[in-house]
Structure 1
Amino acid sequence: MVESTAPFDQIRGLRGLWALATRLDSPGEARPVPIRTLLDMLGLGLEQTMSMLGRERPDWPTFLAWIEATVGAPDPARLARYTAWYDGAEPPAEERARQAAVMAVPPVFDADDLARWDRDGVVVLREAITRDEAAAIADHLWSILAADPGDPSTWYGPRTNGIMIQHFQHPAMEVPRRSERMAKGFAELYGHADLIVSTDRLSFNPPIGSGFTFPGPHLHWDGNLTPPIAFETQAILYLTDTAADQGALQVVPGFHHRLADGWIASLNGADPRTVDLSAEAVTVPAGAGDLVIWRHEIPHGASANRSDRPRLAQYVNHYPMHWPDQRRWL
């Protein structure tokens, strides 16, 4: 058994998460565990945490020691905010001041951007981070892959998660997560700054050919389609200039309007996730450091890379803290 002195024992929901994933104890709470919000507060990736818990089934002290070794002690301000939210209390004064500061930042979207958002459910935040900051993340990704940007023969090493690269912590990756411009962009779309930033992974989508076939993900939804569908966003940060044929994000623009107009009911019980919408998909090119944001009701996915350069990206999102959706999954 590994002893841990990390200040994690009293974090709301953490022991419940450990108990649920390892089955080594009773969760001890009647309410569901807000897994994603909890892990994003701690700076842990969902996939890395659930994989560790499922694979190793650590005892409680070992799990706490792993968290400390992976991300260090929790940020006091983030923890205080999460605890207040979990307990149904008012946000701490420091958090209220942070939100007010975000709202006071000048707008980052113009009228055309917002009109496009309303129409298509997709918008590009230009220069969410600088090109140099994006290049630093790209360099880190190349290092993870042990690949050479100038040697295509090194781009196709063995991977177990398709184009997803399951790495979550690095100083360069923290830059967009702490970007004031990015925080303001999401606050404009939500109408408030009471949002938490995600701790998500990287992506590497090389050109098809040389024995490599695009593995997806193809068009899909990540959330529950049972009405009413709460408004939420998803987003991808391009780390290099990304052309339309370079494995760029693809979406079916404006689909949130069709969902609101009863598209699912029109299927007469058919599974909406089996409907082929690929003929309506468009790709979204953008530059290095640009962030593509879309409503999560929009069917989306990666696209086959038909260029001669890989697509490099990091997933970064801001969203309201919330409890798991326990309704029937559709």
Structure 2
Amino acid sequence: MVEATTSLGIEILHAYWAHQLAPSSTTPLPQDIEKTLLAGLRLNVLETVRYLHHQRPSFAQFEAWILECNDGALPEASLDRLRRALAGETVGAEVGKLDDVEGLSADDLAHWHEHGYVILRNAISPEAAERAELAIYDFLGMAREDPESWYSPSLGPSIWVPLLRHPALVANRQSPRIHKAHAQLWGREDLWVTIDQGGLNPPERQNWPFPGPHLHWDATLAEPHHLELQGILYLADVAEDQGAFSCVPGFHRTLKEWLKSVPADQPISDHARRTLTMKPIAAHRGDMIIWHHLLPHGSSPNRAQRPRVAQYMSLRPTRYAYTEAWKN
């Protein structure tokens, strides 16, 4: 039985909780609604799924855990915005009015349409970027100026850094320029920012080969193809050979025809890695690269002298078109 009231007042949260605990006997939420729900509650998707599957909490315990993840409370204004959006009402940008915020220029938008990615210059201030950069080093127990510390066991065989809610990273998610640029690309302002992790890609050396991710898609390639955005925020200057984010520019426009050329007996991703060449994208501290999720992309080996340090985030509207079938 669905509970009539919840401590957070988000009725659909009960349906999400119930499906995670009993997927075979309950109906899942639409994918876009589920992502909006979790982003609106400032939850990381993987963190939440792991908690529910491992702890199997009661609904009351789940709501209490959500508040614990948010330092004990969520602003009522944020909860009200989420309730109204989930009810189908039009809501504005989380960070306030965007009319006077400088976003992407006409040249930026032309580059986006042609290449499927754009660099949002000065998405955050250099000072804000450096605070987040230092938070990542601190979280990993590393020193920015000590190369030997960059290979601490705390990083492991991965470039991902599971730091989610440090105040410096939280502040970056509220950048008006980031919200404005995404609103321009989506054509709407009711956007929800994901609670994603950081990244540190140190220079390759004998006992630390680049672990990937190599060329891949995080999206289904099944038709129809729809818009979705992904983003990476550089927290320090990144040169082309410094483990830069890489992609195949313009591929979102040719994907449909390219798929017809993939041999039937070969996995799509394997064929792509053999036949496509990615371009590394250099940018400065505080710049953000936003790309169409249908671009093949990945990180690259760091052959420079300093790590690439980054923060990942995406912004999506409350409801959007997507394809449920998975093909990759």
Give the corresponding residue for 1:247.
243
Question: Are residues 1:63 and 2:62 paired?
Answer: yes
The one-letter code sitting in structure 1 at the alignment partner of 2:244 is A
Would the alpha carbon gap of residues 218 and 208 (structure 1) be closer, same or farther in structure 2, given more than 3 Å must change?
A: same
Give the corresponding residue for 2:125.
130
The one-letter code sitting in structure 1 at the alignment partner of 2:280 is T
Q: Deviations over 1:167-222 (max 9, x none)?
A: 21121112221111111111222222222111111111111114001111111111
Aligned mate of 2:280, from 276, 280, 283: 283
Measure, in 2, the Cα distance between the counterparts of 1:232 and 1:18: 25
Higher alpha-carbon deviation: 245-254 or 278-287: 278-287
Question: Are residues 1:174 and 2:170 paired?
Answer: yes
- Normalised by the length of structure 2, the TM-score is 0.88
Aligned 8 A contact 1:195 1:319 in 2 = yes
Measure, in 1, the Cα distance between the counterparts of 2:249 and 2:23: 45
Measure, in 1, the Cα distance between the counterparts of 2:193 and 2:300: 25
Aligned 8 A contact 1:248 1:305 in 2 = yes
- Normalised by the length of structure 1, the TM-score is 0.87
Please list, as runs of the form range in 1=range in 2, the aligned pairs for 1:1-330 lying within 5 A after superposition: 7-8=7-8, 10-23=9-22, 27=26, 31-32=29-30, 34-71=33-70, 72-87=72-87, 89-91=88-90, 95-96=91-92, 101-102=97-98, 104-158=99-153, 159=155, 162-260=158-256, 262-267=257-262, 269=264, 270-277=266-273, 279-322=276-319, 325=322, 327-330=324-327
Question: 1:289 is paired with a residue of what secondary structure?
Answer: coil
The one-letter code sitting in structure 1 at the alignment partner of 2:194 is S
Where does structure 2 lack aligned partners over 5 or more consecutive residues?
Answer: none
Measure, in 2, the Cα distance between the counterparts of 1:49 and 1:170: 17
The one-letter code sitting in structure 2 at the alignment partner of 1:224 is T
Aligned 8 A contact 2:226 2:323 in 1 = no
Would the alpha carbon gap of residues 224 and 77 (structure 1) be closer, same or farther in structure 2, given more than 3 Å must change?
A: farther
Alignment root-mean-square deviation, CA: 2.6
Aligned 8 A contact 2:229 2:314 in 1 = yes
Alpha-carbon shift at residue 110 of structure 1 (Å): 2.5
The one-letter code sitting in structure 2 at the alignment partner of 1:223 is A
Alpha-carbon shift at residue 106 of structure 1 (Å): 4.9
Number of residue pairs the alignment of both structures matches: 318
Measure, in 2, the Cα distance between the counterparts of 1:64 and 1:324: 29
Alpha-carbon shift at residue 98 of structure 1 (Å): 6.4
Would the alpha carbon gap of residues 213 and 30 (structure 1) be closer, same or farther in structure 2, given more than 3 Å must change?
A: closer
Alpha-carbon shift at residue 11 of structure 1 (Å): 1.5
The one-letter code sitting in structure 2 at the alignment partner of 1:211 is N
Measure, in 1, the Cα distance between the counterparts of 2:12 and 2:320: 11
Measure, in 1, the Cα distance between the counterparts of 2:93 and 2:246: 37
Aligned 8 A contact 1:12 1:86 in 2 = no
Would the alpha carbon gap of residues 24 and 329 (structure 1) be closer, same or farther in structure 2, given more than 3 Å must change?
A: closer
Higher alpha-carbon deviation: 221-230 or 318-327: 318-327
Question: 2:118 is paired with a residue of what secondary structure?
Answer: strand
Question: 2:129 is paired with a residue of what secondary structure?
Answer: helix
Measure, in 1, the Cα distance between the counterparts of 2:101 and 2:216: 34
Higher alpha-carbon deviation: 245-254 or 206-215: 206-215
Would the alpha carbon gap of residues 58 and 199 (structure 1) be closer, same or farther in structure 2, given more than 3 Å must change?
A: same
Aligned 8 A contact 2:16 2:29 in 1 = no
Aligned 8 A contact 1:208 1:214 in 2 = yes
Aligned 8 A contact 2:15 2:29 in 1 = no
Q: Deviations over 1:276-322 (max 9, x none)?
A: 34652100010110001111110111111111211110012211223
